[in-house]
Amino acid sequence: MRTQVGIVGAGPAGLLLSHLLAQRGISSVVLEKHSRSYVESRVRAGVLEQGTVDTLVEAGAGERLLREGLVHRGIELRYGGAGHRIAFDKLVPGRAITVYGQQEVVKDLIALDPSRVRFEVSGVAVHSLEDSPAITFDGGRVECDFIAGCDGFHGITRPSVPDGVLTTFERAYPFSWLGILARVSPSAEELIYAATPRGFALHSMRSPTISRFYLQVSSADTLESWPADRIWSELRARLETVPGFTLEAGEIIESGITPMRSFVTEPMQYGRLYLAGDAAHIVPPTGAKGLNLAVADVRVLTAALARFYEEGSSDALDAYSADCLQRVWRAQHFSWWMTTLLHTFDTDDPYAQRLQTSYLDYVTSSEAAATTLAENYVGLPYGWGVQ
């Protein structure tokens, strides 16, 4: 088949790109190795920046999001036996975050036009990236003008770039996150980020009846070492640290352990291949930036492709990587900063512990420091950092 843009990967980046391109009259085909049911059920991030919400609404995928998403105008930092609210509504007026599961975003995007997506495609490979790109798969071939690699960190597009072209930057953290989805109403109205000597914990939610929790655990831990009773006991130990707060427990319906790592590849393009989302960068989930960065990448790529087809200019495509990386590195720093601010790194280093407490005190007592956290958390305006 022939199309203008071949997209590998039916995650939020690939699906959103396809719809935004369609709105500009640009044809695309999305190839996905997994089944539709698998893609729609993968539990991932759930915190959407203001700009991400606005983009999804503009793409026509916002009806259910606006109806069911939980709008939050602040978060709580909990440490030292007290809770401290970072008030987005005061510090960054008019901007908020919305809690809405990534799998729900995927469902909404697929429902707009499933005909552009081919699921359960095996043997995908990309070819002739410098001049006449094509995507082959078992039983077929897609010829296109450009290829968008939206197939995640473990996908096939980034490794298809010749050796020596890309430079990678990585950092692995000495712990992981144990995440659970539980059938229980949230015990708080806003997200709670708790820093304790026992380790970090996060109280989040997906709906009025479904809660999401995370625990900092050892990188060597397995799910078998964390039965339900131990999970709830540890969550209580880390979250029930302020007077009057009680954590409600419920049935655990999903669990998993996620390594904490940072990754960036530069540039995010080669020839007529453009990488977006996790295919180009990974951030620790502490800053809630993964999905939001993918959306930002896709916006930049859509505008660049539209300019190429409408004006015949490749200037924006040539600048794609540089434009995206400004925001990527800002998010990398914010995610690293939030991670170091809230996690336990070395219980045998009292100096580091005092530094961490000092910075938490500063963030929760200084309006300037709190504003820095707030404006990064809700998302910097699109176009920030672009020269």
Q: Catalytic residue positions?
A: 72, 193, 285, 289, 377
Q: How far from chain centre, in Å, is Cα 275? A: 15
Is residue 216 within a helix (H) or strand (E), and if so which, with residue range? strand 211-217
Phi and psi torsions of 39, nearest 5°: -60, -40
CA-to-CA dists, residue 218 to 73, 173, 222, 270, 343, angstroms = 32, 10, 9, 37, 12
DSSP string, 115-181: GGEE-S--S-EEE-TTSS-EEEETTEEEE-SEEEE-S-TT-STGGGSPTTS-EEEEEEEEEEEEEEE
The H or E element that residue 339 is part of is helix 320-342
Instruction: Say if residues 74 and 360 touch (Cβ distance below 8 Å).
Output: no
Q: If DSSP codes are grouped into helix, strand and coil, which group holds residue 263?
A: strand
